[in-house]
Amino acid sequence: MSYWLLKSEPSSFSIDDLAKRPAKRDSWDGVRNYQARNYLRDMRRGDLAFFYHSSAKQTGIAGIVKIVAEAYPDPTAFDPGNHHYDPKSDPSRPVWYMVDVKLERRLRRLVLLAELKARRELADMILLKPGNRLSVMPVAEKHWRAILQMERAASPE
CATH number of 3-152: 3.10.590.10
The burial class, CB within 10 Å (0-12 / 13-18 / 19+), for 131 is exposed
Instruction: Give pLDDT tens digits for 4-30.
Output: 999 999 999 999 999 999 999 999 999
Residue 145 pLDDT > 90, yes or no?
yes
Q: Where are the domains of the chain?
A: 3-152
Residue 154 pLDDT > 80, yes or no?
no
Distance CA 100, CA 69 (A): 5
pLDDT in the model for residue 153 = 83
In contact, 96 and 136? CB cutoff 8 Å: no
How many other CB atoms are there within 10 angstroms of residue 2's CB atom? 17
Sequence-separated (6 or more) residues with CB below 8 Å from residue 107? 61, 62, 63, 64, 151
- Across the range 26-53, mean pLDDT stands at 97
Whole-structure pTM value:
0.94
Question: Who wins on pLDDT, 127 or 156?
Answer: 127
In contact, 118 and 125? CB cutoff 8 Å: no
Instruction: Give pLDDT tens digits for 54-94.
Output: 999 999 999 999 999 999 999 999 999 999 999 999 999 99
Q: What φ, ψ does residue 144 adopt, rounded to 5°?
A: -55, -50
Distance CA 67, CA 48 (A): 6
